[in-house]
């Protein structure tokens, strides 16, 4: 009961608590450019990736200043703006080592990321006393497929370099979180790399990958980054013209110091049907709220123009914050849909969908007309998960395993093994059909510790003019209580929907499942579900207590309670409706990692990697629910 009451308190005080995310900026003395090199200074108890709560805002949904790149980007900006510091001596690189884990694959699931890129950096304690750097986290996938060519983007800490500057301290000299892996044989073998930043002078990308492909086979990779000087936060996009073997240097889509959670869509312009438009939506955090923005390119990504789509105002029921947009284009009409989550001041948040029929120039909201909703354009949904104190990662709703370490704020638990949850309405559109998938709590109370979770699909057969009854494709049971982070793909003939998602078992381990849904007579029918991953896995030690006021991820560049990421992916070749053409990729912790002495998680435990499988055919037979 205590946690339920707290959940209501967090909801009711949402607007006030979000303001805590905007403390005064630190002065120039805190950070600096070292010897003419742009660096990101390192704090022992503050993660570089996804600081998420400058000032540790405790809010519903866990949103702080930004959910990706927050503290890191602010430090970088202050470093560049503070000027140049004179230091003596040459920088000292730590001692690197590779962690030898289990590298076996099976006939069905294949590891996507190259495990040899993971590394550990330690420093001589006579030079600097610091705990090890364990660069070994990969998760949060987005993919495209063009025949046998498959590209998967994901967040990765393996593209990081750290050095010690005498007279200054420890600093990251490279952080390339926007990683990718490419297969030219349909997903059987992979090569891995990192997309280039805008400039070699500021070699920093901050992840949140979103990939899309145009009709000419050009692959685009959108993520978070900086401008060429490392001064401002940006949305960036990289292009590949060789089926993902390499990517061009990043192009700035928009400059926005409050940017987060960009998402990419490509499709035909409604009037100039021979031209593909590129659309990038994102959340822009501003004092007291957040806004939905759109950037559009009509020249193949050479230039972009930006416009504000939605700036909510807190009215006591609807909050002033939005997040998690997911644009999609119906290739048959060029209609652009932009679903996103609008946070409320009550338990249930609301999915809203903006639609454009003129290539992103004007928009209107779809009407759901859900009984009891705050308005006709709101689709209510309660985000699942247990409220957990992630300290530097904020108060989060999460999936957990193991025992509560105790000492959490407000009497909340503080589980060491935790992975945070969000609600992103993953959508698809084709031939007038529009659908999106959600993870939903089984309780009407946000943060209810007794609640399970399920996967639901909303569906419109007529471009959003009407919606059929929502289909529940995965429900809580004693064996499988939690179902989270779905991804939805729609066949180009609009006759079949594929949904992948995580399942937490009774033993607290996770696996991935996949479901097929048939579209029949303007209604959805669940065909079958099957396991997608061949091995269930443990959560990682992502929220280890270091002191009464600090927790840490074992990979110290990653924020507390970040593990499997916040989305997974399915990819299908354009215009191909063959089941064998669907590739799935997801964050997976089946591999072991051995943290060295001095690590807060010293010893052997699970680590986050990316795995893939084909859906249908010889690999995962969803129709029968069986594997060879």
pLDDT at 22: 28
Which has the closest alpha carbon to 552: 261, 207, 131, 172? 131
**Interior CA angle at 26 toward 24 and 27, to 5°?**
120
Query: H helices then E strands: how many in the chain?
Result: 3, 47
* Residue 316 pLDDT exceeds 70: yes
| Lowest-pLDDT range of 15-19, 136-140, 303-307, 349-353 | 15-19
Rounded CA gap, 283 and 45, in Å? 27
Helix (H, G, I), strand (E, B) or coil at 287: coil
Sign of CA pseudo-dihedral 507, 510, 511, 513: positive
Helix boundaries (H) for 309-454 = none
Rounded CA gap, 60 and 1, in Å? 18
pLDDT at 10: 40
* Residue 27 pLDDT exceeds 80: no
Q: 178-183 and 149-156: which strand pairing? A: antiparallel
pLDDT at 43: 76
Sign of CA pseudo-dihedral 558, 561, 563, 567: negative
pLDDT at 155: 97
Phi first, then psi: what are they for 455, rounded to 5°? -110, 130
* Residue 124 pLDDT exceeds 80: yes
Give Cα 496 to chain centroid, integer Å: 25
The CA–CA distances, whole Å, from 119 to 101, 162, 559 equal 11, 11, 18
Helix (H, G, I), strand (E, B) or coil at 566: coil
pTM over 0.85: yes
Provide the residue ranges of all domains of the chain, joining segments of one domain with +. Answer: 256-346+348-371
Residues 6+ apart with CB under 8 A from 374: 317, 318, 344, 350, 380
Rounded CA gap, 408 and 414, in Å? 5
pLDDT at 167: 85
Q: Which residue has better confidence, 80 or 567?
A: 567
Rounded CA gap, 415 and 404, in Å? 5
Residues 6+ apart with CB under 8 A from 548: 407
CB 231 within 8 A of CB 203: no
Rounded CA gap, 465 and 542, in Å? 44
CB 318 within 8 A of CB 342: yes
Two tokens at 477? 């049971």
pLDDT at 620: 60
- DSSP assignment, residue 27? P
pLDDT at 521: 85
Helix (H, G, I), strand (E, B) or coil at 385: coil
What is the average pLDDT value for the chain, to the nearest integer?
87
CB 444 within 8 A of CB 450: no
Taking the alpha carbons at both ends of the chain, their separation in whole angstroms is 46
| Lowest-pLDDT range of 43-47, 269-273, 497-501 | 43-47
pLDDT at 39: 80
Two tokens at 556? 């110290």
CB 123 within 8 A of CB 94: yes
Q: 582-588 and 609-615: which strand pairing? A: antiparallel
Two tokens at 466? 């009407």
Residue written as token pair 């072991």: 592
CB 215 within 8 A of CB 574: yes
| Lowest-pLDDT range of 21-30, 178-187, 283-292, 467-476 | 21-30
| Lowest-pLDDT range of 408-412, 431-435, 576-580 | 576-580
Helix (H, G, I), strand (E, B) or coil at 446: coil
Which has the closest alpha carbon to 549: 387, 391, 411? 391
- DSSP assignment, residue 59? -
pLDDT at 95: 76
Which has the closest alpha carbon to 31: 42, 45, 41? 41
Per-residue confidence at 49, pLDDT binned at 50, 70, 90? low
Which helix (H) or strand (E) element contains residue 70? helix 70-81
Residues 6+ apart with CB under 8 A from 620: 108, 514, 530, 531, 532, 584, 613, 614, 627
Sign of CA pseudo-dihedral 153, 158, 163, 169: positive
HSE (side-chain half, CA atoms, 13 Å) at 14: 27
Per-residue confidence at 194, pLDDT binned at 50, 70, 90? very high
Kindly state the average pLDDT of the residues 117-134.
Answer: 95
Kindly state the average pLDDT of the residues 394-409.
Answer: 94
| Lowest-pLDDT range of 51-65, 135-149, 557-571 | 51-65
**Interior CA angle at 61 toward 56 and 66, to 5°?**
55
Rounded CA gap, 499 and 325, in Å? 18
* Residue 88 pLDDT exceeds 80: no
């Amino acid at each position: 009961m205590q946690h339920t009451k707290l959940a209501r308190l967090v909801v009711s005080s949402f607007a006030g608590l979000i303001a805590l995310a905007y403390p005064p900026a630190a002065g120039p003395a805190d950070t600096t450019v070292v010897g003419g090199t742009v660096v990101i200074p390192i704090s022992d108890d503050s993660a570089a990736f996804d600081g998420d709560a400058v000032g540790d805002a405790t809010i519903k949904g866990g949103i702080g200043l930004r959910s990706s790149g927050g503290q890191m980007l602010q430090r970088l900006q202050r470093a560049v703006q503070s000027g140049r510091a004179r230091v003596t001596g040459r920088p000292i690189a730590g001692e690197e080592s590779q962690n030898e884990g289990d590298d076996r694959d099976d006939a069905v699931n294949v590891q996507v990321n190259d495990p040899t890129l993971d590394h550990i950096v330690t420093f001589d304690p006579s030079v600097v006393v610091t705990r090890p750097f364990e660069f070994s986290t990969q998760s949060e996938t987005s993919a495209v497929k063009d025949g046998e060519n498959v590209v998967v983007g994901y967040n990765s800490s393996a593209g990081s370099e750290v050095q010690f500057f005498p007279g200054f301290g420890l600093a990251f000299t490279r952080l390339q979180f926007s990683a990718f892996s490419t297969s030219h044989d349909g997903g059987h073998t992979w090569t891995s790399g990192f997309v280039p930043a805008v400039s070699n002078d500021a070699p920093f990308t901050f992840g949140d990958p979103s990939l899309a492909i145009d009709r000419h086979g050009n692959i685009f990779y959108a993520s978070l980054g900086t401008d060429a000087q490392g001064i401002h936060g940006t949305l960036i996009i990289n292009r590949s013209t060789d089926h993902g073997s390499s990517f061009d240097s990043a192009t700035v889509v928009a400059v926005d110091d409050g940017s987060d959670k960009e998402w990419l869509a490509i499709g035909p312009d409604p009037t100039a049907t021979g031209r593909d438009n590129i659309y990038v939506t994102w959340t822009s955090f501003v004092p007291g709220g957040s806004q939905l923005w759109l950037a559009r390119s009509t020249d193949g990504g050479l230039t972009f123009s930006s416009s504000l789509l939605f700036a909510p105002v807190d009215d006591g029921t609807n909050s002033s914050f939005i997040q998690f947009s997911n644009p999609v284009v119906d290739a048959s009409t060029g209609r652009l849909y932009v679903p996103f989550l609008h946070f409320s001041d009550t338990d249930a948040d609301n999915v809203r969908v903006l639609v454009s029929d003129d290539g992103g120039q004007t928009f209107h909201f779809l009407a759901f007309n859900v009984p009891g909703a705050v308005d006709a354009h709101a689709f209510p949904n309660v985000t699942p998960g247990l409220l957990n104190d992630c300290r530097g990662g904020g108060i989060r709703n999460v999936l957990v395993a193991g025992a509560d370490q105790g000492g959490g704020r407000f009497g909340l638990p503080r589980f060491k093994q935790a992975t945070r949850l969000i609600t992103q309405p993953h959508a698809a559109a084709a031939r007038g059909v529009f659908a999106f998938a959600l993870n939903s709590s089984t309780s009407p109370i946000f943060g209810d510790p007794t609640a399970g979770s399920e996967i639901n699909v909303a569906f419109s057969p007529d471009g959003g003019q009407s919606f059929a009854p929502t289909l529940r494709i995965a429900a809580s049971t004693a064996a499988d209580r939690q179902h989270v982070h779905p991804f939805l793909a729609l066949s180009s003939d609009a006759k079949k929907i594929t949904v992948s998602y995580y399942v937490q078992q009774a033993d607290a381990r996770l696996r991935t499942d996949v479901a097929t849904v048939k579209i029949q007579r303007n209604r959805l029918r669940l065909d079958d579900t099957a396991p997608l991953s061949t091995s269930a896995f443990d959560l990682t030690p992502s929220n280890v207590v270091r002191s009464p006021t600090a927790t840490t991820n074992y990979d110290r560049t990653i924020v507390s309670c970040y593990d499997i990421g916040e989305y997974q992916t399915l990819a299908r070749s354009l215009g191909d409706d063959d089941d064998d053409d669907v590739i799935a990729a997801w964050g997976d912790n089946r591999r072991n990692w051995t943290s060295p002495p001095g690590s807060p998680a010293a010893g052997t435990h699970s680590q986050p990697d990316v795995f893939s499988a084909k859906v249908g055919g010889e690999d995962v037979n969803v129709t029968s629910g069986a594997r060879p």
